[in-house]
Structure 1
Amino acid sequence: MDCLNAILRRGWFQKPQTAIEDGHKQYTEHEVEPPQVPKPSVWLPEGDTEQDENLCSLCRRLDFRTILTHGVATDECIPLGFFVDLLQRSSSCGFCRLATTAIVRGWKSFVPDWEACEGVERVQCELRCVRVWAPAPSSPARFLQVRVDRLPPKIAESKVRSGRVDRNVIFLLADDAHLVGLEPRYHNRPVPKNYAEVSGMKEWLSVCKEFHAAECAKEIDENMSKAPSSLRVIDIQENRLVPVKSSPSEKPLPFVALSYVWGDVSTVAQYRTEISNFRRRTEKGGLDGVSFPRTIQDAIVLVGLLGERYLWIDAVCIIQDDGDDQAAQIHSMNIIYGASYLTVVGAGGDSANVGLTRAHPGSPSKDVVSTMETIQGIRMMLPLPPLPEALRTTRWITRGWTYQERLLPARRLYFTPEQVYFECRRCSWSEDVVAEERTFERNKDQASASGGNQLRRRSFRTRWGDTSSLFLEDYGRRVAEYTKRNVSFDSDVLNAFMGVANVWVESWGVQNRLFYGLPGAHIESALLWQPKAELVRRNSGENGVHLPSWSWAGWRGQITYSDRNYWMSIGPWPCGLIEESVVPEWILHTSNTESQRLEVKAARKWKRAPGEKPLSRPPPVPPSLLSPIGDAARPANIHGGVLEFLTTSAFFKVRTGSEHGKKCYCYDGGKPPHEHADMIHLIVDARGNAAGNIFLDRKTLEITDICNTACEFIILSRSGGGETTCPGLNEELYPHLEFCLFDTMLIEWRDGLAYRLGLGKIHEDAWVQAEPKWKRIFLS
């Protein structure tokens, strides 16, 4: 009501000039013709409207039982009026109150100050009835959806950028489904207010064990068979650490894993396992008296209630000050989480002291607010947020370590501020929806959409035999997701990704092993990442871990490989893979004394069609540079993470967007431009002509003088979609031809080593005309 009063003060309810009254909706003379009234079957006769006084005159005429029983055709949407009309009626109408709350909930997730958006009062609303997908149920479930049209630009743009949708749905209560001839399945149920029912969690596990054995249980068993000998768990009955298996021939102990947020790292010292207390903790009662935080206490109680005995917790089961033990188990994270019978996720707070909300009668409780109204004798309610939405606002989803902890387990039980959710490889369930189906394959699509069930060990094949494009698509998507997250220590950025990398090697083959976060076999493509947000250089060398500038791991901030800027994507066709290799060989230095030649899948030499202009290429490599160089010729300060290669170098200036008067970006299918379009700038030749584009964050522009001084660029490969050139390119001098762009990197030199500043594309003719010189690069 506060929201309604605020809007009333703005004077939204004044009728627009020359308005046409329709009976259900107002239209100005500049708007389209009102939609046709739905079939009479969904409307009650005028004489039957007095039965429900908590409805407005419009909703009182709707036959909600008929709507839910028979549905409404997509071309028969029921007009509800402008949003301002709906909001005004919500003070006295139960259904309008549900509809308004559903709409506002979605808008607030996109734009918190949605009330201030120009034009929000003129958003058009209509009612639809949607069938819940289920494989041939005897009585299909249905829910109501309030569709909105003509969103204010600010909300519409924020919605597109987020990639999310606002569902605006209203569910029928499962206990009332029989009133409209439907079954309870896939309808809503109230969530217990104080704590979740353990019986419901056991039911989810039981269904998965019995009906998903060929997928979920099989995956767990396969990982369990490869459990490292160093793996140990907490025996909650004897309160001590025990090995998962005492001998190779012994059957491993089934265990539950915990994924949670540490919070203040200094507090972990109160309960972590160290060399000094490890032996005592292996004795019976060895964990007595340990001051565990609330989340771990709740997890121990929950494991017992679920009928399990063994629990794995990173800070307790890994010897934290033993480098060898840490390394062995960090390199086995894919096995540990993959072998867990169940992974309990504490996503309800910002530290380990918060606890697992509503996990058991003694855990922290939280009133679950369910918005419910009785409409024509039928109870309807707004569903609680689906899992992705519930996780979106948690700190747990922002942590780097928890990324693999969500992807790797076959079964996950989430404790969020909203409710408890369960996911496995086949299904996704929650407390507020009756969906535990034993006979039908239900919710697999929903589980996939949540982002938590796709990563598993499997073999990939294509009819053409080459899986490069599929791998790079998967790799680019995962890296973009992971780099949104944070780690407390920069030196952990690769360790927290280790489990994902190991699964890739198992799935795609050892040739796709990652080096400093990039696949060695596809180093040419993998170098072409771009910032999706402002980047900050990580502390390279911390704890002896070097994080090179050429890898996304060397920077804090989200990166992307595939973007709406078509010309800079490296995903599968039509975004464009590397079309031609220009670097003869790639050498990676893994330490100051050791190096290895990367086995790179070099791209073929590109040829244009007969009659077209031939490709412009740099001069041939001088024979003297092709000879191997000795250690004396390499920089004295070389270290692990230095990438050595031959390429051509040339000098160009950069012109920023403010100088050339317009931003450089592409529109794609009517979508808004890249959210950081002001980070894309022009590469200009010696005569000041635009010859390419480069993506640079603001901090790099601030600390360098690239706009006034010619800076050094190197080329890495030839690529780019064949249908477009760089935005802003001077095509009179540099005409568009198929694959006429070089991938170029702006570098700076410090103490004999080169460092990446930014990446872009430049026209082949501009490159050749700049008289490039071959040079051996040591990229750190």
Structure 2
Amino acid sequence: MHLSLTLQSALMIPSNSKAQPSQQFPGNPEGFTLSPSDVPTSGTIATRRLVSTHTSLALAGIIGGISLGILAVWLLVARTRKLKENAASAGTSESSPLLVQYQAPLNLQTYTAKLENDILLCSTCAKLDFYRILLYGIHELEPIPLGSLSSIFERSYQCSFCRLISLYVRRTRIMEDFPHIDLSEIECGVHTTLCGALRRGPHPPLRYGRRLYITGNGLWQTHPAFRALGPLLIHLMQEDASKFGRPVDLHGRRVKNTVDVGLVKKWIKLCEENHGDKCRNVWRMDRNMPEFVRVVDVVSMAVIPAPSHRFRHVALSYVWGGNGAEYWTTKDNIAKRSIPGGLNAANLPDTITDSISFVRQLGERYIWIDALCIIQDDLQDKISQLHAMDSVYGLSYFTLIAAGGKTARDPLPGCRPRTRTPQIHIEVVQGLHLFVTPPTHEKALGMSAWITRCWTYQESALSCRRIYFTGQEVYFECRCQVFCESIVAESKADFCRSFLRHSREEYFPFSTDSFWSYKYAVERCTRRNLTVESDIVDALTGVTNALVVAFRLGDPARAFQYGMMLTELHQALLWQHDPLTPRTRRSLAEGSNSSWPSWAWATWCGAVVYMSRSVYRQTRVTGYSSEVSVDETLVDAWYIVDHGGGIVPLDVQKVSRVYWIEEEQPPYSSPGRTLDPTAMPLDTHRPLKPGTLIFCTTSSHFAITRRGGESNEESSPADHYGLFNILSATTSPTWVGTVILPLNPAPPSSIEFIVLSRCDGAHGFYDEESIKPYRGCLLHVMGVSENEGLMERVGLGIIHIVAWVASTPEEKMVFLR
């Protein structure tokens, strides 16, 4: 206000006052006066008035500039003194980012602009020097306090920085969904984190870009709404990178209402030209597309057989969201759709038409879309096509992923105008353009319907390059890089320390261990939903076929059955139900004449977890994944009943690690009998069902009791499985092992167990006062129930070898259904 009044008075000339002798103009420090002789005559009044006005205005401008300079210097001195007082009271040095330091001569124009920008900040944020904070950084252990979240909300109407924070919180919908949460209990602070680098080699620390990281205590860290959205990170826009002498790498970029096709082309080209085989041949596939596979020709608009020679195609992954009989390819319309122009885009849903249009804009010609390329009412065609998914997605140039919609009728966001609203809100803070970082593509996908569908898992896992369309922006991901529209992250190098990258743990981290790759896929796939429960095996067939090719496992039909990896059966059998999933058999397809076997995870609904033996130490089952341990296979030969009723030997890899075992410990003895399928006593009136496993092992009964008692205080009402202690078969029973069993219905007091394999022993698995631990002292056992000579799996556990041998087990030929 003072500045405004000064300028106003300096430029003011009274228009209705008469000039008096020796009258001095207001705001004239040099005392310029008018005498009576200076009063103009009527003939010259117009000219003199004009000259006088111009002269006065010029003097007023000079005077105003000097006044502004004096005011700016005064404000600078006052502000510096105040900041020093704040720094002293906060226990910081004068080099603190809270304090402005000017090492160059003062630029009045620049500083005046900064003062005007500070007007847009609250008193708390105006104390911060955001330039210095982003230049030098703030350690995460010493965040600068910003006050409570409720006070930030109150200040957001007048403060541009607080507005960025409140915008993030409003995205969580926490205030609408949880109106009774007290935001005043959440204290916020700010520190910085590095963005990373796109160029290999050492750089001066100041060359690394920094982001502002907003922290909070209490509910900020624990409430699911905040955790789902991820950390609050505030970025600098690319136009301000030069102010810090940095390249635009990993700075913000404005997102348009429609996708920048040229940018997407650049991403694909960078990957193709610079990443080599890392992104070209993920699954070690060296073959053509099967001849029976069809593709959509986006130029001729026809569904055609895949060209016989090597060709480039795109694949689409999306959510059907219901029946699509009106646009599916069927026996009735396949002939018409096979001729040029036979595929009418007007009859197709938006996701499909937009995908065809986008592929055409990228200059590609062929796209595979399941609803159009599979004859939906031809079962044989559907089966053959589904068994080619490893080729369709594994050999694709890239895969378009429609993660922004819930059905095929939703548009591909950003492909056409008004189909998306980018959430890039930019605020100017002390002359710097800042914006809240949009969700990473992990978080964006985590909020989508697409990621909840089981079918879409393998479609993404098999693809070497993925282009995700979300409601906010488009993301590109390959095995080396992640790009998005809102961050400048393009680099020719396969090296990258970008914050955009992640471990792909939700997809398929390719491993040199075939079983580890398999278990990872099973655990991820079974977390997702299916409309038709019996599709579970088909929805993973593409991945299992790819594993067969990558690890040379032979015939896919012999390597995998019922979703189980038969070549590593001794490990594959060690799956557990997720503790929050009830034990419910999966509904099979209509017309199926045989149920799936109990030993296969695919038989049961819900998530599956492979756990390490450490789970048996706990007081309740927790569903975290870990590496299973098998140190010796104790079943010499495995057989399975095929769909024709024949008994077929399985090629199961054997494991045997040599242990030094103390002499006083009784060794475990495998069954001495040799399994002869031709001599098996088969009941001709009750033939064995397909999927029955046949093998020889030892069997014994043990009493069990719930760990922690029937009212285990540490258990949760949501738990469907519990830990049960296995008790020795002695007059004074002791704890000799542990088994995980379903809680409903309650298990019997005694269970029959059969031996599967050996694992290393450690502390905490049994009563060590009664039994001595040693290496290799534990057995993997399966709890079973028997009915008319057929066994079914009930649970899985471990038991000490000494206790097993002491129970005098019997040899058995097991028929496991």
Q: Indicate the TM-score class for this superposition, using the shorter chain for normalisation.
A: 0.7 to 0.9
Shift of 1:662: 4.2
- Kept in 2: contact 1:143–1:170 (CA 8 A): no
Deviation at 1:78, TM superposition (A): 3.4
1:256 pairs with 281, 302, 314, which one?
314
In structure 2, C-alpha distance between the alignment counterparts of 1:113 and 1:24, rounded to whole Å: 37
Choose the corresponding residue for 1:210, options 273, 281, 284.
273
Residue 321 to residue 629, structure 1, CA distance change in 2 (3 Å): farther
Mapping of residues 348-359 of structure 1, within 5 Å: 348-359=404-415
1:359 counterpart SS class: coil
CA contact (8 A) 1:189 1:431 kept: yes
TM-score by length of 2: 0.77
Q: 1:175 aligns with which of 214, 222, 239?
A: 239
C-alpha contact 1:746 1:758 (8 A) present in aligned 2: yes
Letter matched to residue 723 of structure 1: A
- Alignment correspondent of 2:215: 148
Measured after TM superposition, the shift of residue 663 of structure 1 is 6.2
RMSD: 4.0
Report the alpha carbon displacement of residue 385 of structure 1 after superposing the two structures with TM: 0.6
Partners of 1:741 and 1:101 in 2: CA distance? 55
Partner AA of 2:461 in structure 1: L
Q: Does 1:232 align with 2:286?
A: no
Task: Give, in whole Å, the separation in 1 of the partners of 2:475 and 2:690.
Answer: 43
CA shift digits 1:617-652 (9 cap, x unpaired)? 36x636487785336258824222211112222223
Partner residue in 2 for 1:586: 638
CA displacement at 1:743 relative to structure 2: 1.5
Q: CA deviation at 1:116?
A: 4.1
Q: Post-superposition shift, 1:520?
A: 2.1
Residue 213 of structure 1 deviates from its aligned partner by 4.7
Cα separation, 2, equivalents of 1:320 and 1:82: 57
Aligned-partner residue type, residue 295 of structure 1 = T
Name the amino acid aligned to 2:128. L
**Partner residue of 1:614?**
665
Is 1:534 aligned with 2:581?
A: yes
For 1:553, the equivalent position in structure 2 comes to: 602
Contact 2:661/2:774 (8 A) holds in 1: no
CA contact (8 A) 1:680 1:695 kept: yes
Match of 1:463 in 2: none
Alpha-carbon offset, residue 557 of structure 1? 1.1
Could you list the runs of 5+ residues in structure 2 that have no partner in the other structure?
1-83, 103-110
Residue aligned with 1:632, SS:
coil
Displacement, 1:387?
0.7
List per-residue Cα deviations over 1:585-620 (Å, max 9, x = no partner): 211222242232222232327644446x414536x6
Contact 2:321 2:406 in 1 (8 A): yes
Following TM superposition, by how much is the alpha carbon of 1:58 offset from its aligned partner in structure 2, in angstroms? 3.4
Alignment map for 1:114-193 (pairs within 5 Å): 116=181, 121=185, 123=187, 125-136=189-200, 140-146=207-213, 148=215, 151=218, 155-156=221-222, 166-193=230-257
3-state DSSP of counterpart to 1:478: helix
Change (3 A) 1:637 1:485: farther
Cα shift at 1:419: 1.6
Q: CA separation in 2, counterparts of 1:477 and 1:403?
A: 12
**1:723 maps to 2:762:** yes
Of 424, 442, 446, 1:370 maps to 424
Q: Report matched runs for 1:461-476 at 5 Å.
A: 470-476=513-519
The sequence identity of aligned pairs, in percent, is 29
Shift of 1:347: 1.3
What one-letter code is carried by the residue in structure 1 that aligns with 2:736?
Answer: A
What are the equivalent positions in structure 2 for 1:23-422 lying under 5 Å apart? 37=92, 40-45=95-100, 51=116, 52-72=118-138, 77-80=143-146, 89-90=155-156, 92-99=158-165, 101-102=167-168, 113=178, 116=181, 121=185, 123=187, 125-136=189-200, 140-146=207-213, 148=215, 151=218, 155-156=221-222, 166-193=230-257, 195-217=258-280, 225-245=287-307, 247=308, 251-264=309-322, 267-288=323-344, 291-361=347-417, 365-422=419-476
Q: CA deviation at 1:380?
A: 0.5
Is the alpha carbon distance of 1:240 and 1:681 closer, same or farther for their aligned partners in structure 2, counting shifts above 3 Å? Answer: same
The residue number in structure 1 matching 2:34 is: none
CA distance in 2, matches of 1:108, 1:500: 39
2:741 to 696, 704, 722: 696
8 Å CA contact 2:208, 2:246 repeated in 1: yes
- The partner residue of 1:644 within 691, 694, 700 is 694
Shift of 1:159: 11
| Shift of residue 230, structure 1, vs aligned partner | 1.0
Cα 1:627–1:339 shift into 2, 3 Å? closer
CA displacement at 1:429 relative to structure 2: 0.9
Size of the aligned set, in residue pairs, is 706
Cα deviation, residue 172, structure 1? 0.5
> Does the 8 A contact of 2:134 with 2:212 survive in 1?
no
Equivalent-residue separation in structure 1 for 2:189 and 2:441 (angstroms): 26
TM-superposed CA distance for 1:188, in Å, is 1.0
**CA positional deviation for 1:579:** 2.0
Residue 378 of structure 1 deviates from its aligned partner by 0.8
Is 1:509 paired with 2:552? yes
Contact 1:106 1:167 in 2 (8 A): no
User: 1:15-30 to 2 correspondence within 5 Å?
Assistant: none
**Unpaired stretches in structure 1, ≥5 consecutive residues:** 1-21, 26-33, 461-469, 666-672
> SS state of the match for residue 718, structure 1?
strand
SS at match of 1:694: strand
What is the TM-score normalised by the length of structure 1?
Answer: 0.80
The answer as to whether partners of 1:263 and 1:351 remain within 8 angstroms in 2 is yes
Contact 2:229-2:439 within 8 A present in 1 as well: no
The 8 Å contact of residues 146 and 187 in structure 2, kept in 1 or not, is answered as: no
The 5 A counterparts of 1:668-707 are 679-685=722-728, 689-697=734-742, 701-703=743-745, 705-707=746-748
CA positional deviation for 1:346: 1.1
What is the match of residue 29 of structure 1? none
Conserved 8 A contact 1:691-1:762: yes
Sort the Cα spacing of 1:690 and 1:517 in 2 relative to 1 into closer, same or farther, 3 A. Answer: same
- Alpha-carbon shift at residue 257 of structure 1 (Å): 1.4
Residues 66-86 of structure 1: CA deviation (Å, up to 9, x unaligned): 222333456664344565665
- What is the letter of the counterpart of residue 471 of structure 1? S
Task: Report the counterpart of residue 11 of structure 1 in structure 2.
Answer: none
Query: By how many angstroms is 1:316 displaced?
Result: 1.2
Residues 105-126 of structure 1: per-residue CA shift (max 9 Å, x gap): 68969x9759748x98255634
Structure 1 610/289 Cα, relative in aligned 2: closer, same or farther at 3 Å? Answer: closer
Structure having the higher Rg: 2
Deviation, 1:529, is: 0.8
Cα shift at 1:404: 1.1
Q: How far has the Cα of 1:523 moved from its partner?
A: 0.8
Kindly state the Cα deviation for residue 255 of structure 1 after the two structures are TM-superposed: 2.1
Match in the other structure for 2:797? 760
- CA deviation string 1:496-520 (max 9, x = no partner): 1112112222222316933322222
